[in-house]
Amino acid sequence: MKKIDRILVLIVFFSIIFLLSNVVCASSSLIEKVKEESTPITSDDGTLSKKITNLNQATNEITIQLNFKSQDSKAIKENTEIIFLMDNSTSMNTGVGSTAVSRKRKVINSTKELINNISKNNANTKMGVISFSSSANVLQNLTNNKEQLLNACDNFAKQSASGDTNMIAGINLAKSSFTASANNKILILLTDGLPSSNGQAVKNSLKDEKVYIITTLVGLENAKDTEKTTINDIFGSAENPVANKFYNISDSEIEQTIVNNIYDKIVEDFQSSITNINIQDYFPQEIIDNFDISTKNPSKGSVSKEKDYILWNIPEIKSSETVSLEYVLKLKEKYDKSIINKIIDTNKKVEFKYNDFKNNSQTKTMEDSPQIKVKENEIEDKKSENNNNILIGSDNTTANKVLSNAGSSNIILFILVIIISNIVILKFKMKDIIK
Residues 367, 373, 379, CA angle at the centre, nearest 5°? 170
pLDDT along the chain (435 residues), means of 10: 56 54 47 93 92 92 95 88 97 83 95 97 94 96 98 95 94 97 96 92 95 95 89 95 96 96 94 93 95 95 93 94 96 91 94 91 94 74 47 41 42 62 61 55
**Residue-level pLDDT at 222:** 82
Q: Are residues 115 and 261 in the same domain?
A: yes
Check residue 116 and give its pLDDT.
97
Q: Which domain holds residue 116?
A: 80-269
* Whether 140 and 210 share a structural domain: yes
DSSP string computed for 202-249: HHHHH--SSSEEEEEEES-TT--HHHHHHHHHHTB-SSSBSSSEEEEE
Residue 396 lies in a domain: yes
Residue 378, pLDDT score:
56
Q: Which of 376, 400, 418 is the last residue of a domain?
A: 376
pTM (2 d.p.) = 0.68
Check residue 408 and give its pLDDT: 47
Q: Which residues contact 17 (CB under 8 A, 6 or more apart)?
A: 387
Rg (CA), the chain: 38
The verdict on 254 and 396 lying in the same domain is: no
Looking at the fold, whether 222 and 363 belong to one and the same domain comes out as no
* Same structural domain, 347 and 222: no
Among candidate residues 376, 394, 422, the one where a domain is terminated: 376
CATH number where 207 lies: 3.40.50.410
Q: Exposed e or buried b for every residue in 324-336, given b needs 16+ CB within 10 A? A: bbbbbbbbeeebe
Q: Both 132 and 223 in a single domain?
A: yes
- Identify which of 130, 124, 131, 178 has the alpha carbon closest to the alpha carbon of residue 146: 124
Same domain, 261 and 299: no
The answer on 247 and 112 residing in a single domain is yes
Question: What pLDDT is attached to residue 97?
Answer: 74
In a domain, residue 200? The reply is yes
In the chain, how many domains are there?
3
291 and 346 housed in the same domain: yes
Contacts of 286 (CB under 8 A, 6+ apart): 336, 339, 342, 344
Alpha helices in 291-407 (DSSP H): 378-381, 383-391, 397-403
pLDDT for res 279? 96
Q: Label residue 212 exposed, middle or buried (CB < 10 Å: 0-12, 13-18, 19+).
A: buried
- pLDDT for the residue 272: 87
The domain that holds 291 is classified in CATH as 2.60.40.2110
